[in-house]
Amino acid sequence: MNWNDIPSLAALRAFEAAARHGSFSAAARDLNVTHAAIAQHVRALEDHFGQSLMQRDGRGMSVTPEGRALSDSLSEAFGLIATASHDLLDQSQTRAIRVAVTPSLAANWLMPRIGSFWNQHPEIEVELVPAMTLVDLRRDNIDVAIRYGKGGWAGVSSTPLMPAGHVAVAAPSYVEGRKIDCLSDLKGLRWLMDGTRSEERFWICANGIDLDEECVTMFPTGQLSREAARAGLGITVQPAPIAAPYIASGAFVELCAEQDSDIAYHILTRPEVISPTRDIFVKWLRSEATS
pLDDT for 260 equals 80
pLDDT for 83 equals 78
Which residue did the predictor score with more confidence, 152 or 41? 41
pLDDT for 247 equals 95
How far is the C-alpha of 210 from the C-alpha of 201, rounded, in Å?
9
Domain shared by 120 and 184, yes or no: no
Domain shared by 75 and 196, yes or no: no
Task: Indicate the pLDDT class of residue 227, thresholds 50, 70 and 90.
Answer: very high
Domain shared by 151 and 183, yes or no: no
Task: Indicate the pLDDT class of residue 282, thresholds 50, 70 and 90.
Answer: very high
Q: Is 90 exceeded by the pLDDT of residue 116? A: yes
Which residue did the predictor score with more confidence, 148 or 281? 281
Residue 181, domain extent: 166-257
Q: Is 80 exceeded by the pLDDT of residue 177? A: yes
Average pLDDT of the segment spanning 175-200: 85
Domain boundary among 36, 65, 92: 92
Domain shared by 138 and 107, yes or no: yes
Domain shared by 141 and 268, yes or no: yes
**Virtual CA dihedral for 201, 205, 206, 208, nearest 10 degrees?**
150
CATH number for 143:
3.40.190.10
Domain shared by 133 and 181, yes or no: no
Domain boundary among 69, 92, 115: 92
Domain shared by 78 and 102, yes or no: no
Q: Which tens digit of pLDDT belongs to each residue from 78-111? A: 888 887 776 676 665 667 899 999 888 898 899 9
Domain shared by 131 and 268, yes or no: yes
Q: Which residues contact 16 (CB under 8 A, 6 or more apart)?
A: 71, 74, 75, 78
pLDDT for 197 equals 67
Beta carbons within 10 angstroms of residue 17's beta carbon: 24
Which of 17-21, 120-124, 198-202 has the weakest average pLDDT? 198-202
